[in-house]
Amino acid sequence: MGDNLTTGVRLAMWCGPRNISTALMRAWGNRPDTFVVDEPLYAHYLRETRLPHAMASEIIERYEADW
């Protein structure tokens, strides 16, 4: 088994209520040894569903959408 300091540990978390997910995201984001991504699948969702969204084109252009 590899050393976590050199190989890293990938941890994915999903949360329900917005206030809890925001608190967890900020808590993990304050650690110097973590990288936090908020809603990584949202650009893909907007691209595939084509649902109306005020900033859909900007979100799709800026974030990964090829899942």
- For residue 41, which phi and psi values (nearest 5 degrees)? -100, 5
Name the token pair of 36.
């936090």
In a domain, 40, yes or no: yes
Average pLDDT over residues 16-34: 87
Domain annotation covers residue 18: no
Q: What is the pTM of this model?
A: 0.61
Separation between Cα atoms, residue 16 and residue 48, nearest integer Å? 23
Domain assignment present for 21? no
Please state, in angstroms and rounded to a whole number, the distance separating the CA atoms of residues 18 and 49: 22
SS3 label, residue 49: helix
Range of the domain at 48: 34-67
Domains contained in the chain, number: 1
Asked if residue 38 is part of any domain, the answer here is: yes
Q: Which residues contact 67 (CB under 8 A, 6 or more apart)?
A: 41, 44
- Counting residues of the chain whose pLDDT is more than 70, the rounded percentage is 91
